[in-house]
Every structure is written in structure tokens, then in C-alpha cells.
Amino acid sequence: MANKIPVGILGATGMVGQQYIRLLEDHPWFQVAVVAASPRSAGKKYGHTLKNGWLYDGLIPDRVGKLTVRDVGDVAGVVEECALVFSAFSIPDKDESRAIENSYAAAGLPVFSTGSSHRGTENVPMLIAEINPHHLEIIPAQQKKNGWGKGFVVVKPNCSLQSYLTPLHALMEAGYTIDAVAVTTMQAISGAGYPGVASWDIIDNVLPLIPGEEEKTEREPLKILGAISKGSAGWRIVPKKGLTISAHCNRVPVSDGHLACVNISFKGKKPSAKEIINIWKKFRGEPQRLKLPFAPKQPIIYRYEANRPQPKLDRDSDKAMSVSVGRLREDTIFDFKFVALSHNTVRGAAGGGILNAELAYKKGFLK
């Protein structure tokens, strides 16, 4: 543990919790010190609690496998052993989920969550680190309003939108105004967690409904692209206006990697296809400027092949943290259309959560 920040994983036995453990095994700044899960797993060695076994290649990291699992409700015990927590637990009751994450923040621990319960909270940053790192600036106001000391909550957005929002942001940052987006996502079965979708439903099939997913895909980008503002009720993140998103979200028989077919319209000046590709290729965000360990060197990779990107071929690009884009062409109704892909359980979940924590650390929010 020497010279590394001890971290905890809440929901450590689930698919995303295991992904956190796998990705953090050789992290230069963070080391897993605490694993927490449901009361039925508490008190057992982590390696003996995985009912369905280790879900990833290789073996459970030996040191983590020997850790004793804590009850996720044992806030006092977790606080004693780590400096921040990655929250990956999933329970249906969003109020209860919020309350648990708040209890950790109130006890002085920064919480980096992949859950959805705080995504609508006006003073909680919902980060894609290359897009809205400045939203971390609302943390002092969040702490003040809640009476928290060193603790705070930062969340990740839904994995459905992370394949295409960074390419849109890059164009906006370059000075172009996008006012309409139509997106059809083809989402991997790992996005449903483990054991996820029944084999009878997904084999030889496509499910044209993922409950709640389209609403998140249409709503969450507006908060990410929004601005911090102070009103009568205090500081909050105001969603972006002037952008309309229409989404179809489908579950497809692919293990990992969410693919999105995207149509966009510009308001005012319109770039050429060549300009768009150049903007994407040159785009770099704060994680790249800070050289954060989990930051991809090139956050948007453009594939010139006519049949790319593909989940099997492109989801693991640059630590599975890059967005792969291709098939840019003019559209007969909108201005342009393209295909985008990201790894949903790495970039879209645990890897993105780690990158958010790295950003907060480098920006001085981890005391």
C-alpha cells in the first residue's frame, strides 16, 4: 500500500465491481483496500463470495481475493480503511441507493459512482472527463449544502450515450452548433449486468426495448453539456438548451461494446466531412493534457474502413477507453450521419469511474 491511495469498492461482487478490481490491480495511484457488498457476503473472504465465479479473463487478484468482505452499510468500518470509494452496487430503490452514497460522503469519503440514483441531482457532477471536467467546481457548493467535510459525490452517465457524445462535444468545442440528434443504439448484453438478459430472449434476436434507456439517452447529455449556475436554491448544473435528442435503444447479442448510429443537424455554419474528421482526430481533453493513467492518448479514433467500427475489433482500443468512429457521410434529412462505438463496462462504467477519480485527484479535490 506504500505511496498508493487506498480505495474501496461498493458492490464488489457484481460485474462492474469485478471490473473495478481487475482494472485497479496495477494502478499507479490507487489500490483496492476494501471490498463491500450485500450483508449475505459480509464476513467472508472475497474469493469465496462470488456465487457465479470471477467473470473476467485470468484469476482474481490474489491480494484482493484474501480481503474480508464488508457489509456495504458498514460505513464506519469502510471509512477507517480507505480514502475514497467507487460505488458499483445496484438496488432497485433509488432513494435507498442515494442515501447509502450520501452516508459515505457525509462520513468524509469522496464517492465515484456508476449508479443512476444521483444523476438527476442538480449539484452532483455527471462526468465524462474529456467533456465537462469543469463541473467538478460545483463540489464545494455540494459539500456546503449537505454539511459535508471532505466527502462528495460524482457520478458517471449512462453507458448508452458515451459512444457518441464525445464526438458531438468535439464539434461543439470547435465552434459548431448542433441542434438536433437522432441516435439508434445497439447495446451489448453486458450492459444488463450479470446474469443479465435470458439466453432465450437474446440468442438469434434483437430486443427493441431497454426500459428507461431511451429517456436517459435523451436527457443525460443535456446535463453533461450544461453550465454551473447559481439561483435562489443555490448552485446547480443547468441543462443545455437548444439541443434535441431522439433515441432508439436496442439490446443485441454482443458481449461488450455499445454501437450507436447517429444523425446530426447543425444550426448556422456547417463543417465539411473532412473538417469533422480533422476535428475528431485532433481533439484532446483535460485527461489527455494531464496525462492521467486511464486517459486514452487519442480519445476519438476515426476508422476509415467502410465496415468499421465493430465491437469485436474496436471496443478494446487504447485500454478500451477510446471512442471509435466511422462511416461519416452526408445525410438526406439531417446534415451528417456516422457510427460510433465504446466499451460499455470499461469506458462506460469502471474505467470511466477510475478516470473521474484520477481527474479529481489531479485537480486537488481529494484531500
Residues 149 and 230 in one domain: no
Domain encompassing residue 43: 5-158+349-362
Grid cell locating 275 = 473538417
- When divided into structural domains, the chain yields a total of 2
pLDDT above 90 (res 52) = no
Task: Provide the residue count of the chain.
Answer: 367
Looking at the domain assignment, is residue 334 inside a domain? Answer: yes
Query: Can you give the CATH number for the domain in which 238 is found?
Result: 3.30.360.10
Residues 214 and 309 in one domain: yes
Looking at the domain assignment, is residue 367 inside a domain? Answer: no
Residues 186 and 282 in one domain: yes
| Distance, CA of 178 to CA of 248 (rounded, Å) | 19
Residue 87 near residue 154, CB atoms below 8 Å: no
Residues 147 and 191 in one domain: no
Residues 151 and 188 in one domain: no
**Lowest pLDDT segment from 214-223, 229-238, 246-255:** 229-238
Query: What is the pTM assigned to this prediction?
Result: 0.96
With H, G, I as helix, E, B as strand and everything else as coil, classify residue 62: helix
Q: What is the mean pLDDT of the chain?
A: 95
Distance from the first to the final alpha carbon of the chain:
18
Residues 273 and 169 in one domain: yes
| Distance, CA of 248 to CA of 265 (rounded, Å) | 17
Please give the average per-residue pLDDT across 50-72, as a whole number: 91
Looking at the domain assignment, is residue 248 inside a domain? Answer: yes
pLDDT band at 233 (very low <50, low <70, confident <90, very high): confident
**Lowest pLDDT segment from 93-102, 174-183, 203-212:** 93-102
Looking at the domain assignment, is residue 305 inside a domain? Answer: yes
Total Cβ atoms within 10 A of residue 153: 27
Residue 151 near residue 105, CB atoms below 8 Å: yes
Looking at the domain assignment, is residue 177 inside a domain? Answer: yes
Looking at the domain assignment, is residue 300 inside a domain? Answer: yes
Residues 293 and 168 in one domain: yes
Please give the average per-residue pLDDT across 211-235, as a whole number: 93
Residues 36-68 as b/e (b if ≥16 CB within 10 A, e otherwise) read bbbeebbeeebbebbeeeeeeeeebbeebbebe
pLDDT above 70 (res 323) = yes
Give the residue from 192, 170, 161, 152 showing the smallest Cα distance to 347. Answer: 161
Question: Is 134 in the active site?
Answer: no
pLDDT above 80 (res 367) = no
Question: Is 258 in the active site?
Answer: yes
Residue 316 near residue 343, CB atoms below 8 Å: yes
Catalytic choice (118, 135, 159, 169): 159
Looking at the domain assignment, is residue 52 inside a domain? Answer: yes
Query: Can you give the CATH number for the domain in which 109 is found?
Result: 3.40.50.720
pLDDT band at 3 (very low <50, low <70, confident <90, very high): confident
pLDDT at 2: 61
Q: Residue 70's beta-bridge partner residues?
A: 36
| Distance, CA of 158 to CA of 115 (rounded, Å) | 8
Catalytic choice (118, 135, 258, 343): 258
| Distance, CA of 352 to CA of 354 (rounded, Å) | 5
Residues 108 and 181 in one domain: no
Residues 228 and 337 in one domain: yes
Please give the average per-residue pLDDT across 299-323, as a whole number: 98
pLDDT above 80 (res 131) = yes
Cα angle value 115/116/122 (rounded, 5°):
120
Residues 108 and 230 in one domain: no
- C-alpha dihedral (60, 63, 65, 70), degrees to nearest 10: -130
Residues 171 and 121 in one domain: no
Looking at the domain assignment, is residue 103 inside a domain? Answer: yes
pLDDT above 60 (res 1) = no
Please give the average per-residue pLDDT across 25-45, as a whole number: 94
Residues 142 and 200 in one domain: no
pLDDT at 94: 85
